[in-house]
A and B are shown apart, each in its own frame.
Chain A
């Protein structure tokens, strides 16, 4: 049996970061937690995860900026990205998807929705 897929989770709110990680770990994924945009970028480059869950409003670099940097890197073409944000207006969602996110989930999220979306993106 191959190793479980690795997911980088980035959120400056540690309660939410723990919650997301816990839900993904219960669903059988391995999780790396980071608390800002720069760390997220570094973690993705170092760990080469299958998927990243990025909060939009983060210190140092926003989720949009991290996403733009990731999409600019051809070696990360396979990486899936989910934006997770409390900004729920249509404009925010459109902006996230246009920036290259594979999915945009609104906070508060349902645990089932998050896991289902991750599994769908990772083809499992």
Chain B
């Protein structure tokens, strides 16, 4: 009987496409319900009269429903093209059920067990390779067990399993009396086929780390099946239908069906693309067990005074030894390769380090070169300026002609302007280099403001500007007097420069909240709001200043701000275009 149109196929598309969280929560009960109902059904099996025809039929029905569950689950949870492994399970389990059915037919119709060998054995034995193949397909798809090391591990385990199966399960049939040679061969075929499932079980055990519920279920069902088979193999003679051993096979059926219904079977495990298999405890235990089979068999047979399987143990032991050598060789090579990779990485890192150091040195050198360049340009400009100022000075001392004195005054002023420009450039280059450190002394700002204002007064008067000073005496600030003088001079001369004749410049000095506050207001041309943000940038000049051809370099406020900030203070500006500008400087006072 082959289940046709699966009853739940109608909601297959959505669940296939996204085995997401909500899907899992909603679908999970299907698998667990199947296990619950199956467990009860298995319980009921033992309530039926033992070794009865009814019990036998019931067994077949249970097996068949598991096959149906595997088939339905496969259609629901997997898209076309990815179902092969689970279809192999369906067919493989169906083979087992068919074998059971043949037995039932013999019992119900003929009232006797089938002969050995019979068609039932063909179904049973045919199922095993399909089940094992399904497991290997799934593991292959998960990307594990494909490296050379993993394959070697598999072969080691295979050798161990073969050795045990041969010595304890297969070879004993050679020493028993069978009616026919066929019966003997079929009896030996069962433990031989179990070898496949045992290896499949071992592979599932050492499989990927991030296992899903479906993976664990599959592991459990294969495990139950193999354990039942092995126990059966040891007690063939005493087994009867309805034995407790049937519970293991039945549960295996049920859990296999549940695994297929569990939506996580679409993924089975988190992707695991490690090149080398991890030496987990399970893997180590399985490998150790495989390696210990040969000596263990020798000891057991010696203890039981059985004849020793010296050829099998010898061959098996030799094969295992060779495999271990191969595996070891692989490990050594892997370690050497890792060592080489590490050396290469270290060399590259050292090279990168050297390059970085070299580039750093180059940068430092470049920085030094820039400083030297600025410094020597400043030097080269100052030297001729010294002669110009010096000789103009001499001429002014000797010249009495007013007109010529006026001309010489112009030369002197312009020499001074040039000198200030050179100084500002040098200073701003220092600022760009981030170096503005100076020795701090107690500075009396009151005195500095007086000096600054008084030295600007002739210029203000010449321009017809009223210069008003309102300076309270304030506590000293910690700073560099020359730089603070430069700051005040900058702000005072700016105010005069940008105020038209007839205007007024107010200078205030006061103490407010522990801060010495210097405030200078003019009735000048003002600064547009958009330009205020850029006012303190290097080389910035306002459009009004450019339009009115007011001379300047755009360095004064940049330098002023740097000086204020180097003293731990701040500078701000308020302005109304056309009405005037106020600059405020606040510096922390020494308390």
* Stretch of A2-10, A12-20, A43-51, A96-104 lying at the B interface: A12-20
Interface residues of A in 21-44 (CB under 8 A from B): 22-23
Q: A88-B426, A89-B426, A89-B430 are in contact. Are A19 and B379 (CB under 8 A)?
A: no
CB of B262 to closest CB in A, whole Å:
79
For residue B383, CB closer than 8 A to chain A, the reply is yes
CB of B290 to closest CB in A, whole Å:
78
CB–CB B382/A108 < 8 A? yes
CB–CB A108/B379 < 8 A? no
For residue B391, CB closer than 8 A to chain A, the reply is yes
Interface residues of B in 570-590 (CB under 8 A from A): none
For residue B493, CB closer than 8 A to chain A, the reply is no
CB of B388 to closest CB in A, whole Å:
8
Q: A87-B375, A111-B390, A111-B393 are in contact. Are A16 and B383 (CB under 8 A)?
A: yes
Q: How far is the CA of A107 from the CA of B419 in the complex (A)?
A: 10
Q: How far is the CA of A115 from the CA of B171 in the complex (A)?
A: 123
Q: A13-B387, A89-B430, A108-B419 are in contact. Are A22 and B394 (CB under 8 A)?
A: yes
CB–CB A86/B379 < 8 A? yes
CB–CB A19/B390 < 8 A? yes
For residue A90, CB closer than 8 A to chain B, the reply is yes
Q: Residue of B at shortest CB range from A90? A: B438
Q: Residue of B at shortest CB range from A87? A: B379
Q: How far is the CA of A23 from the CA of B438 in the complex (A)?
A: 33
CB–CB A16/B386 < 8 A? yes
Q: How far is the CA of A92 from the CA of B430 in the complex (A)?
A: 14
CB of B169 to closest CB in A, whole Å:
94
For residue A76, CB closer than 8 A to chain B, the reply is no
CB–CB A88/B438 < 8 A? no
CB–CB B390/A16 < 8 A? yes
Q: How far is the CA of A88 from the CA of B386 in the complex (A)?
A: 13
The listed residue (B378, B389, B415, B438) touching A86 by CB distance below 8 A is B378
Q: Which residues of A contact B137 (CB under 8 A)?
A: none
Binary per-residue interface labels of chain B (384-407) against chain A in the complex, 1 for a CB within 8 Å, 0 otherwise: 011111110110000000000000
Q: Residue of A at shortest CB range from B385? A: A108
CB–CB B375/A108 < 8 A? no
Q: How far is the CA of A17 from the CA of B327 in the complex (A)?
A: 91
CB–CB A108/B426 < 8 A? no
The listed residue (A90, A92, A109) touching B386 by CB distance below 8 A is A109
For residue A57, CB closer than 8 A to chain B, the reply is yes
CB of B156 to closest CB in A, whole Å:
76
CB–CB B386/A86 < 8 A? yes
Q: Which among B387, B394, B426 has the greatest number of chain A C-beta atoms within 10 A?
A: B387
The listed residue (B375, B387, B419, B423) touching A15 by CB distance below 8 A is B387
CB of B327 to closest CB in A, whole Å:
70
CB of A31 to closest CB in B, whole Å:
15
CB of B378 to closest CB in A, whole Å:
7
Interface residues of A in 43-88 (CB under 8 A from B): 57, 85-88
Q: How far is the CA of A124 from the CA of B386 in the complex (A)?
A: 26
CB of B302 to closest CB in A, whole Å:
94
Q: Residue of A at shortest CB range from B430? A: A89
Q: Residue of B at shortest CB range from A114? A: B390
Interface residues of B in 336-392 (CB under 8 A from A): 375, 378-380, 382-383, 385-391
CB–CB A88/B382 < 8 A? yes
Q: Residue of B at shortest CB range from A111? A: B393
Interface residues of B in 430-467 (CB under 8 A from A): 430, 438
CB of A15 to closest CB in B, whole Å:
4
Q: How far is the CA of A85 from the CA of B382 in the complex (A)?
A: 9
CB–CB A107/B438 < 8 A? no
Q: Which residues of B contact A19 (CB under 8 A)?
A: 386-387, 390-391, 394
CB of B36 to closest CB in A, whole Å:
88
Q: How far is the CA of A107 from the CA of B391 in the complex (A)?
A: 13
CB–CB B438/A108 < 8 A? no
Q: How far is the CA of A113 from the CA of B430 in the complex (A)?
A: 26
CB–CB A57/B385 < 8 A? no
Q: A16-B390, A19-B390, A19-B391 are in contact. Are A88 and B383 (CB under 8 A)?
A: no
Q: A19-B394, A111-B393 are in contact. Are A89 and B375 (CB under 8 A)?
A: yes
Q: Residue of B at shortest CB range from A12? A: B383
Q: Which residues of B contact A16 (CB under 8 A)?
A: 383, 386-387, 390
Q: Which residues of A contact B388 (CB under 8 A)?
A: 108
Q: How far is the CA of A16 from the CA of B391 in the complex (A)?
A: 9
Q: Which residues of B contact A88 (CB under 8 A)?
A: 378, 382, 423, 426
Q: Which residues of B contact A13 (CB under 8 A)?
A: 383, 386-387
Q: Which residues of B contact A111 (CB under 8 A)?
A: 390, 393-394
CB of A90 to closest CB in B, whole Å:
7
Q: Which among A13, A16, A89, A90 has the greatest number of chain B C-beta atoms within 10 A?
A: A89
Q: How far is the CA of A62 from the CA of B391 in the complex (A)?
A: 25
CB–CB A107/B375 < 8 A? no
Q: How far is the CA of A57 from the CA of B390 in the complex (A)?
A: 19
Q: How far is the CA of A9 from the CA of B204 in the complex (A)?
A: 99
Q: How far is the CA of A89 from the CA of B415 in the complex (A)?
A: 20
Q: How far is the CA of A90 from the CA of B426 in the complex (A)?
A: 12
Q: How far is the CA of A114 from the CA of B391 in the complex (A)?
A: 15
CB–CB B378/A108 < 8 A? no
Q: How far is the CA of A13 from the CA of B379 in the complex (A)?
A: 13
Binary per-residue interface labels of chain B (133-177) against chain A in the complex, 1 for a CB within 8 Å, 0 otherwise: 000000000000000000000000000000000000000000000
CB–CB A108/B430 < 8 A? no
Q: Which residues of A contact B423 (CB under 8 A)?
A: 88
Q: How far is the CA of A92 from the CA of B378 in the complex (A)?
A: 13
Residues of A at under 8 Å CB distance from B?
Answer: 13, 15-16, 19, 22-23, 57, 85-90, 92, 106-111
Known contacts A86-B380, A109-B390; 18 further A-B pairs (Cβ under 8 A) = A19-B387, A22-B394, A57-B379, A86-B378, A86-B379, A86-B383, A86-B386, A87-B378, A89-B430, A106-B382, A107-B383, A107-B386, A108-B385, A108-B386, A108-B389, A108-B415, A108-B419, A111-B390
List the 10 shortest-distance A-B pairs measured between CB atoms, nearest first.
Answer: A86-B382, A108-B386, A107-B386, A19-B390, A15-B387, A86-B379, A108-B389, A86-B383, A107-B382, A108-B385
- What are 20 pairs between A and B in contact, CB < 8 Å? A13-B383, A16-B386, A19-B386, A19-B391, A57-B379, A85-B379, A87-B379, A88-B378, A88-B382, A88-B423, A106-B382, A107-B385, A108-B382, A108-B415, A108-B419, A109-B386, A109-B390, A110-B393, A111-B393, A111-B394
Residues of B at under 8 Å CB distance from A?
Answer: 375, 378-380, 382-383, 385-391, 393-394, 415, 419, 423, 426, 430, 438
